Amino acid sequence: MKGRGQGAGARHGGAASGQATVELALALPLVMALLLLIVQVALVGRDQVLVVHAAREAARAAAVESRGDRSGPTAAAVAAGPLDPSRLEVDVVDAGGTGSAVRAHVRYRARTDVPLVGLLLPDVTLDATAVMRRE
């Protein structure tokens, strides 16, 4: 009798562990895709913070430099962080002389290049505007 009870219990435990393995095998790709999506969203969020910083630096450069110089704000935006210069656009609007507002608008196409997720999502366009007073 003792041998019979152990055999039945061993078979039941083996079936349950096999079921857990199958469930894990079915759920793991979904969990991994979700983790990769979270990583992609975090990378786009980081790029948005960098774009805001680049706009602030471009506005600052435009506020302290002479009115005719348009290369300074662009160079400041590029130097502000690790953004790809070929995907970065900087527009500066200067309203007038000393004390007037200078507006810098930065647009950046962020890549969605995380494996699997990047293939499904298009590149994201990020915008930021900063306004400073001309000195």
What is the pLDDT confidence band of residue 3, given thresholds at 50, 70 and 90? low
- Provide the token pair at 90: 């900087």
pLDDT, residue 99, reads 81
Report whether pLDDT(2) > 70: no
Residue 9 has pLDDT above 70, yes or no: no
* Stated length of the chain: 135
74-78, 112-116, 119-123 — most confident range: 74-78
Per DSSP, the residues of the chain read -HHHHHHHHHHHHHHHHHHHHHHHHHHHHHHHHHHHHHHHHHHHHHHHHHHHHHHHHHHHHHHHS-TT--HHHHHHHHHTSS--GGGEEEEEEE-SSTTSEEEEEEEEEE---STTHHHHS--EEEEEEEEEE--
Measured at the CA of 31, the angle between CA 25 and CA 35, to 5 degrees, comes to 145
Quick check: 125 pLDDT over 90?
yes
| pTM for this model (two decimals) | 0.78
- The yes-or-no verdict on residue 4 having pLDDT over 80 is no
| 11, pLDDT greater than 70 | no
d(CA 15, CA 83): 53
Amino acid 57: pLDDT: 96
**Mean pLDDT calculated for residue range 49-76:** 89
> Mean of the pLDDT values across residues 14-30?
83
Tokens of 20: 């857990």
Q: Which two tokens stand for residue 109?
A: 């196409």
pLDDT of 68 higher than 70: no
Token pair for residue 31?
């969990």
